[in-house]
């Protein structure tokens, strides 16, 4: 049986603001690096730059929905993306 493709993504939370209900940080995976803003009150995610955004956006959203209450500024986190890039 062939192993599923996987890429490890490293996430760092840079800022959290409960007034704006926003979490900001960076994600690095497969040679790409993105900045993100997660507005957890409305489930809105923005990812920049656009280069490779389609590779990470859905997996990042799933991770944030699952873990957003446990994430803290300055924290480093890891999750797996079921794709190789």
Q: Angle at the Cα of 49 (from 55 to 62), degrees rounded to 5? A: 40
Q: How far is Cα 47 from Cα 64, in angstroms, rounded to an integer?
A: 13
Residues 27-73 pLDDT 10s: 999 999 999 999 999 999 999 999 999 999 999 999 999 998 899 99
Q: Are 8 and 29 in contact (CB under 8 A)?
A: yes
What one-character DSSP code corresponds to residue 9?
A: E
pTM of the model: 0.90
């Amino acid at each position: 049986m062939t192993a599923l493709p996987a890429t490890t993504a490293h996430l760092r939370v840079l800022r959290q603001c409960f007034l704006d209900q926003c979490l900001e940080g960076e994600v690095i995976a497969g040679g790409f690096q993105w900045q993100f803003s997660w507005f957890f009150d409305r489930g809105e995610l923005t990812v920049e730059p656009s280069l490779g955004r389609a590779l990470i956006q859905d997996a990042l959203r799933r991770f944030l929905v699952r873990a957003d209450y446990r994430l803290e500024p300055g924290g480093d986190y890891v999750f797996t993306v079921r794709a190789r890039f």
